[in-house]
Amino acid sequence: METDIVIVGAGPAGLCLARSLSASGLRMILIDQQGADELEDPKFDGREIALTQKSVGILKTLGIWNLIGAEAKSSLTHARILNGSSRFALDIGHELSDYAELGWLVPNHLIRKAAYDSVQQQLNGGRIAIMAGERVTGVETDDTGALVHLESGKAISASLVIAADSRFSSTRRMMGISADMHDFGKSMLVCCMTHDVPHHHAAWEWFGYGQTLALLPMNPDPESGAFRSSVVVTLPGREIDRLVNLDVPAFNREIERRFDQRLGRMTLATTRHAYPLVSVYPKRFVGKRFATVGDAAVGMHPVTAHGFNFGLLGIDTLSRAIVAARSKGLDIADDALLQRYENHHRRMTRPLYMITAFITSVYTSESLPAKLARNIMLRAGEHVRPFKRIVAASLAGN
């Protein structure tokens, strides 16, 4: 088999990349180990993705945003940061940005579904193909081309291989690219709950003592009209396992208590999902005829909600470079082109990756000096308008 680009992974990043290259006339094969049914109709996975205005703009250009129903898109107008048992909150409002909302919250499985449907609409008479239920087991590249081996025994030759196969990318490893990985030793539980007290479309990031909580405002429950949020609890792995398996009434009471009853009565509305917290930053984003995008390029800690937002930024940068090279009849896998992508994406992502590492170390430390320091930082931050503007700009993706 032969093509121009092999994309390994048909998750949100791989699919958005295929869509953004679909008008270039390039032939592409997307490969994913998941079955066709799972790709076509992904199941709820607990994740509500906070999208920046910048990301929404990219998804609109790709024709993906409009494939997501309005009821599934919830506006994010405020972000509140809380510390310990204090009632004080650093409040970042949309009025600090140029928008009526800082960003939008959309369920991850619906982003996947919309991205999949948009690629299906652009198969360009077979120039784009999705191979489901196939796992990439080997990659070889040299000056003249690339060869991708599949578990089924098939092989595909291509000009360029792009890995979009998650933060634990086996393709990146096959290419000999090492990565800095940080295992936080904690897991995140995510689920949707209804609650008595309105959220006013504010997201909470609550650095409690012995736990980190987040609340992501969703649109009201379509049937009952009850207030609804995505609830995120970060704890050591064994504690999360216990919470996932707790019977529902006991789970509801425990989450109400963990939220200090601030949301009144809370009721589980969906399945519960757990994710181990590991952040990943590879030494290189590119190699010979090889590039990484999405989490395979930058695997963020979710606390600053930038993983997929960075994924879209990288896709935008890389696809523009490939389309420009293609229109000039140049090599789409040229070393210099890939290096420019790497340099740009590193500049766009490295600072926030480092800031996120700092936030997670100071804001989850249980030492008394750290608890005091973050209290002081939050209270000082509330009075420094330029600081709040920077945070608002980051949330909006500017």
Ligand X SMILES: Cc1cc2nc3c(=O)[nH]c(=O)nc-3n(C[C@H](O)[C@H](O)[C@H](O)COP(=O)(O)OP(=O)(O)OC[C@H]3O[C@@H](n4cnc5c(N)ncnc54)[C@H](O)[C@@H]3O)c2cc1C
Among 184, 308, 341, 353, contact with ligand X (rule: CB under 6 A)? 308
Q: How far is the CB of 343 from ligand X (least distance, A)?
A: 20
Among 33, 74, 279, 364, contact with ligand X (rule: CB under 6 A)? 33
Question: How many residues form the binding site for ligand X (CB under 6 A)?
Answer: 34
Interface mask (CB under 6 A) for ligand X, residues 160-199, using x and -?
----xxx---x-----------------x-x---------
Residue 366 has φ and ψ, to the nearest 5°, of -95, 5
Contact residues for 142 (Cβ-Cβ < 8 A; gap 6+): 288, 289
Q: How far is the CB of 329 from ligand X (least distance, A)?
A: 30
Interface mask (CB under 6 A) for ligand X, residues 41-70, using x and -?
------x-xx--------------------
Window of 203-211, 234-242, 302-310, 322-330 that interacts with ligand X by CB under 6 A: 302-310
And the tokens for 66? 């409009």
Cα 135 from chain centroid (whole Å): 22
Q: How far is the CB of 249 from ligand X (least distance, A)?
A: 25
Window of 5-13, 258-266, 315-323, 375-383 that interacts with ligand X by CB under 6 A: 5-13
Among 302, 316, 359, 364, contact with ligand X (rule: CB under 6 A)? 302
Window of 29-37, 56-64, 324-332, 373-381 that interacts with ligand X by CB under 6 A: 29-37
Cα 147 from chain centroid (whole Å): 29
Considering the complex, state which of residue 54 and residue 340 has its C-beta at the smaller distance from ligand X: 54
User: Would you count residue 305 as binding ligand X (CB under 6 A)?
Assistant: yes
CA distance 205 to 302: 11
In the sheet that 128-132 helps form, which strands lie side by side, from edge to edge? 128-132, 28-32, 5-8, 160-163, 290-292, 286-287
Alpha helices in 156-293 (DSSP H): 170-174, 237-245, 248-258
Identify whether the C-beta of residue 162 lies closer than 8 Å to the C-beta of residue 293: yes
Q: 67-100 in b/e burial notation, b at 16+ Cβ within 10 A?
A: bbeeebbbebbbbbbbbeeeeebbebebebbebe
Q: How far is the CB of 143 from ligand X (least distance, A)?
A: 25
User: Would you count residue 259 as binding ligand X (CB under 6 A)?
Assistant: no
Identify whether the C-beta of residue 275 lies closer than 8 Å to the C-beta of residue 187: yes
Return the axis-axis angle of helices 53-61 and 307-327, rounded to nearest 10°: 40
Window of 76-84, 300-308, 347-355, 378-386 that interacts with ligand X by CB under 6 A: 300-308
Instruction: For residue 382, give the 3-state DSSP assignment.
Output: helix
What angle is formed at CA 194 by the lines to CA 191 and CA 238, rounded to 5 degrees? Answer: 30
User: Would you count residue 315 as binding ligand X (CB under 6 A)?
Assistant: no
- Which residues would be at the binding site for ligand X (CB under 6 A)? 8-14, 31-34, 47, 49-50, 108, 135-136, 164-166, 170, 188, 190, 275, 294-296, 302, 305-309, 311
